[in-house]
Chains A and B, each alone.
Chain A
């Protein structure tokens, strides 16, 4: 296997595997978030478990961070290499004639998602780290000690229309990213069955359904409280 990941195809595998991992993560993230619409208690329980269970915190979370960083760094590396492969561009190029806008703008849509992730980290993750590991409060309880704090925090975050707006925009771009990315990742790992009809449908269900689901959750909490 020596040199595999230095080859063009090896890099494609690496890119696709990190992307597939992120897509599984996103599904899991959605599964927990949607609980907040149906049952604040269930949402609190799940959040507390994810936020305090050691295997999630110290095994899965580092893998996730590595996965995200790897994915976007690799995205930029590939972009630079690909630009080198054509130093002089065409005077007239008709990309729309042969490929989708999404497929040609993965870096752009990805970069917007990255900007959102930075915001998301500042918004949710850093306060979380602060409470748990700096202040040392692992109880997950509200300051008055009356029940878990996660649901309250979530509802509070979605009060601000600017934040909700940024959230919606980011998920629209994520949807565009995934509309190409979902099937692309399967093609990259050699599973071209994805181009068969039923798999194309699955790609659309995931790439549109999941972001719409996240947007629904944000709007639900924004207008319902």
Chain B
């Protein structure tokens, strides 16, 4: 396939940046999207030009680093996949493909298509954990009976890979799907209940501090999330947050 790529190029955080056009030929439909970019970059390097900087690590849909906004959608047109799992067969010969970084004030661009998502780490550090004494007398988690339904919901919430597609897709740049998933994965389990009040309060406070927007329930996040994290998690977080505030 022969394609036209329109790619956001930005030298550094302070550069204004702009869209730049690239032609790329003989792209195999079996390539992944990132492989296609690798081919583009090899060509640029041979020509002595600066390659396009983009984030990636595992290339198998588990690390969440491949953050591209492709043709107006986070991780491109396919559903339930990250950019590294997106294949070129989802496009047609002659297509023009827009490739932009995830946009949110809380996710500033570092270079080209790479954004700084450490805001997510700070939210996680504010409460996305349980405090367990690991000094030799830890109880096996499997020794605690848990309702299957709750266990399944907690597990689904825990599959969030922190990619930020929810923020990127949301018209308000709201992080509520991510935070809702992180709050839920603990809120549903007895181990997580112990610190539930502080957790939801601290994580929401950090989320607000980072400058993410307010959820208006458009549901764009749920559709674009590569892990299918459900809006139910936002509703659960809202309940948790209300009750936590009533409690203290």
Contact = CB atoms under 8 A, between A and B. Distances in A.
Interface of A: 1, 4, 7-13, 78, 81-82, 84-95, 97-100, 103-104, 106, 180, 183-184, 187-192, 195
A4 B214 contact: no
A78 B214 contact: yes
A86 B169 contact: no
B245 interface: yes
Contacts of A180: 217-218
B151 to A, nearest CB: 19
B27 to A, nearest CB: 20
A31 to B, nearest CB: 28
24 contacts: A7-B204, A8-B174, A8-B213, A8-B214, A9-B238, A9-B242, A10-B241, A10-B245, A78-B214, A81-B213, A82-B173, A85-B104, A86-B173, A90-B72, A91-B100, A95-B220, A100-B219, A183-B217, A187-B234, A190-B236, A192-B232, A192-B235, A192-B236, A195-B231
Interface residues of B, number: 48
A13 B239 CA distance: 10
Contacts of A87: 105
B218 A82 contact: no
Contacts of A100: 218-219
A91 B71 CA distance: 9
A3 to B, nearest CB: 8
Query: Shortest 3 CB-CB distances between A and B: which pairs?
Result: A94-B72, A85-B213, A192-B235
Nearest to B248: A1
Given A4-B245, A85-B172, A90 B69 contact: yes
Contacts of A81: 213-214
A90 B74 CA distance: 11
Contacts, number: 135
Q: Which of A7, A78, A86 has the most CB of B within 10 A?
A: A86
Contacts of B246: 1
B216 interface: yes
A173 to B, nearest CB: 17
A81 B8 CA distance: 26
A191 B104 CA distance: 28
Contacts of B211: 84-85
Interface of B: 6, 8, 19, 69, 71-73, 77, 98, 100, 103-106, 169, 171-174, 176, 204-205, 207-208, 211-220, 223-224, 231-232, 234-239, 241-242, 245-246
Given A82-B213, A99-B220, A190-B238, 5 more contacts: A9-B204, A85-B105, A92-B100, A97-B223, A192-B231
Contact of A92 (B71, B169, B176, B215): B71
Nearest to B213: A85
Given A85-B174, A95-B171, A192-B235, A103 B212 contact: no
A187 B217 contact: yes
A92 B216 contact: no
A92 to B, nearest CB: 4
B207 A8 contact: yes
Contact of A99 (B176, B223, B242): B223
Given A85-B104, A86-B103, A98-B219, A190 B242 contact: yes
A148 B77 CA distance: 62
A82 B106 CA distance: 12
A106 B98 CA distance: 28
